[in-house]
Chain A
Amino acid sequence: MANFKIKKGFDVKVIGKPKTTVEEYTSQQLFAVYPSEFEGLKPRLKVKAGDTVKRGDVLFENKKNEKMVFRSPCCGSIKAVNLGARRFPVEILIERAAEEKSITFETYTRDSVGQLSREQVVDHLLNSGLWPLIKQRPFNKIADPDADPKAVFINAANSAPFQADFSVVLKGDEEAFQVGINALAKLTAGKVHLCKSVGSDIPDFGNAESHTFAGKHPSGNTSVHINRISPILPGDTVYTITAQDVVLIGKLLTTGELPRTKIIALAGPAVKEEFRQYYKVQIGASLEELLNKSLEGDEVRVINGNVLWGEKVSADTCVPFYGSEFFALEEDRSRHLMGWTMPGLFQYSSHRVNLSSVMGLGHEWKLGTNMHGSHRAMVVTGWMDKYQPLNIMTDFLIRAALAHDTDEMIQLGILETDPEDFALASFVDPHKTDVCGIIKRGLNEIEEEGI
């Protein structure tokens, strides 16, 4: 148990905070699974269009580890398998059948999970298709089942606008969460760390050490938690998982069937006010209907994630495997007359060159996706480190990454990071450098080359 105060950080003040009410949104007919969500995965399809599948049937498996399977979230027929570049299956669409047949797994209780060995837990999770919920650092990829992680980090914190608040998600599922923690505790010889935001009313749980994190964004980022509790050295592995996914694992273990629902937050300035809240949705189910009625604006960008970190998705997306929140904002293609000299009162900024940074940080802004400038050669300003609590020299790390210098990148601490940790660096950079992209490329190079 420890309390951490994160001093460096910045909160992007954007309107659209979700209310903490949860509305049921189930009974959808179209479902989808996105193999492209699993970065680096080479899937081998087990189904084709027209097949009928039971709830829990294997849709595809990992070519590199055939024990790692991915199962169908619903019972019905495969409507289409849409291929992307190089014939990669981007999405598998499933039409739900009226009558449900499903595959069941063994059930456990909070105590009987404790009797299992590590292998049994790993095999059960791999076989049920929920193993990929567990990721590992460095590289933030699907956890290697054979790794020996020094700790497991559960992220129950939130700091970016607007990450789902786990205290809303958890209500009523405390037992499943505890069972999930007990299963995770089997995976490591070290500790399970439960990291919460300060002030959230999440109780403490057995088998896990609770920590609270106070401070502005990125105090809720997993990298910050790891850095403060048990920093990654070259050669170390830690498992990470978000708190809601622990609940899903717990539900699998207690009910013996694949979890049906999860809770997502829908937020952002382009969501109508009455729809800014939490929804209990079926995993894999289409969100088209919900998004259709809740979005407003001419050209809206929907993000699977929050305003700082997440992928653009289409407005007919289905509930993905990862993630607990959606953010919608307007595409802002407006151009401002002589932006280089205007007082800058009406453009959001963290920087004192714009008056809005002094006079406008009190209220929330209706932000759009404008770049507010064009790309220029990178000049070291030191601002990238201004909101970086990870003790990383961002400018030098970027230089090393641009120079493909893997040794230098590792020395400067890239293994402790994930591209999401550089979202604020990208945000403040006046030269509009793609910091996250450069870091991501650097991490990929190290992964290929080996540490």
Chain B
Amino acid sequence: MPFNLLVLSCLAYVVFLFAVAWWAERRAARGRLGWLQSPLIYTLSLSIYCTAWTFYGAVGYAARSGLEFLTIYLGPTIVFVGWWWMLRKLVRIGRRQGVTSIADLLSSRFGKSNLLGVIVTVIAVVAATPYIALQLQSVTLSFSVFASPTDEGLAPPGTEATAIWVATGLAIFTILFGTRNLDAKEQHHGIVTAIAVEAVVKLVALIAVGVFVVWGLADGPFDMKARIDASSIADWNLQPGRWAGLMFASGAAVICLPRMFQVMVVENADERHLSTASWAFPLYLFAMSLFIVPIAVMGLERLPAGSNADMFVLTLPLAEGQGTLAMLAFLGGFSSATSMVIVESIALATMVSNHIVMPVWLRLRPAKGMSGDVRRLVLLARRISIAVVLGLGYAYYRKSGGSATLAAIGLIAFAGVAQFLPAMVFGLFWRGATRVGAVMGLSIGFVIWAYTLFLPSFGPDAVIPAQVFAEGPWGLDWLRPRALFGVGAMDPLIHALFWSMTLNTAAFLIGSLFTFPGPVERMQGAAFVHVFDTAAANPRGWQRGVAEPEDLLVMSQRIMGDEDALAFFEAEAKDQGKAGYLPDPSPLFMARLERRLAGSVGAATAHAMMSQLAGRATVTVEDLMAVASESAQIMEYSARLESQQAELTRTARALREANDKLTQLSVQKDAFLSQISHELRTPMTSIRAFSEILTEGDLPAPMVAHYGRIIHDEARRLTRLLDDLLDLSVLENGTVQLNLGLTNLSQMIDRALASASHTKPERSFTIHRDLPMENIFLRTDADRLVQVFINLISNARKYCDSPTPELRISVRQKGGRVTVDFVDNGSGIPQDSQALIFEKFARLTDQTRAGGAGLGLAICREVMANLGGTITYLPGQGGAAFRVAVPLRLEQQVA
């Protein structure tokens, strides 16, 4: 096939995947996931375990070593069939703790330690490098096999150029796909769906080639068996060490690989899906492996000696003149490679940004942690990480020469990620596992893996001099990379796996036995190990009332986005029995907020950011006793007591608030009376005085006119005051007549701005509006709503104390409601006054007597109640901010 046609079909396929992902994300955004969140999609997404290594490499592996390739699929089968032991617990912990990656899991298990997060991230990135190189190599090979060097169209570039194009294309694709937004829970529905589609493509392609081989080239299964018996791999060479060791490595890898952890734990939507995957995923692996040996045997039989066995899946149909089948096989291999690279680099990028970039940034600019948009920084860090990860993969491919067999490269990565296993298994099942042990085990395992397997994989004299291979460093014979401690008879891979895992585990156990875990570590340990015994107990540790809720809100908005943060705070405040957006900083609320933030930036970073506002987390004696207590009954009893106590606390708080409000209202009532008599008396006094002067007669005409105007103005002020009072009483009684009609919101705001410009006309205001969003037709009482808008805008004009005043009006439509926010850049309203501003005659300062009687916001509140909406004060927006919410369609109540 001409090269340009091949490139075009790859691009078309990628565009198709993009469309699938986009469609799935749209459905997810509308909350209609339906079957997109089924066990089937979950199982198919798990199949990113089968990469290009499986698709191309397994056949090559079988052609070289017979049935040994099966270990790579039997190991995961054992792990999934035994899901009740390990995976069930892992998924439950992942969901309960809001884990974002395997580094996050280990760091939060061992006391939210950031050091551990960094170590795990580094190991994962280094171990993924050969694995990504494997994908690049296989795609490059398949291109060079498939593209025919013809005169027409583009000539295929050299393999190195192909590899760099493939790496760049994949990086762009992944960045577009995976880092468009920062999700609260790190779930990517679009990508999961696209991967499920790719899983079907590669399964169908491999089975199609297999069916063609068994029933097209051979004469059915019995003939195939005869051909296997006649082939060069008829008698396979089972090496017990490799048979067991590779099964162990692949079983460990299926849990520890960052991308497997991502789809299995992080993207898991329902724990019951795992129960289906326990048999369906092994079934997928079974189907993928079924035709590997026949394809290998047929390739050895039909293709010229010396052809690359890793490409049999592609070259066999090509040699037999089956162009369509070969194209399908090519797309299958392309799918396997792309899906692996996308998910792997997203998982690694999440780890790098959460465990390396964010902590460094917080350390360098601790004060700035609360300002600036953290979301942009996180996304940027992830994009760069994706590019760097792919760049490293490409560098490995170049450095290793791109000539090794696919399976050999993949196994290096497997042995690398298997280093996480001891820390993970002991962390999940043993409360005595400590952070020091985990750090020691992981570091020693990583160093040995790198020394005995990873660095030697570049070949002698590339990184490690050939002399070291032969004699050991500094002539120390027992430190030879391939024969540690003089054990030279082992297979190099098993040698590396054996020593790294043994010393890793030993260091981990010794470290754990001889050190003492800190309080946070012990609590996290108990929460992990006993995850099934405790009903969602919340870890505590934050002191009550140290942090200002408004500061917390500002910080959360930087990470979660304005809308989500406000919604979360409002729900929490409601849960505490409070109205508005600012809950009390109770330990429970702080813990929930921390977990929510951890879903976006990882446990260690979230903990550090919270500590900046709330001081160090402390663990009380009660918390430790709750951890130490083994008896479920006591815990249940105390949980019940606690919930009763929480209920009482909530009621008491509500009562206390009501009482405070009543007291304040009583004070206000007195103030109201004196205020109203004052407000009525002042104009009355001047009217009386000037009318007395007028009755005396013989005054010049201009003076008469002047005094008459004063009397008229004062009378008007009186009338306005009385009108307001009347208006308020009508609104409060609910006997107001509404004039419903369809009106454009944009026009209403125009009208309000025009009317309000008479207030303090000497101040020039900058108004920021969002005209496209404002273009909404509302069914409501336009005059009344405009009255509210005028009031808010005039207030901003009157009270905004910024030298360059600005007013931002933003409109959002959500469900059947429209919210209009009015935010200025003044100093805002102090927190203790926020509850009062909607009361009658509440004027915060008397220094700016702007002529109002303090009835404006009270009237607004009543108007909004009559319009079926609300008006609230929004804290934490950098100025005074009011949110008006109205229903899109107000139905006339039958009075």
A binds B: no
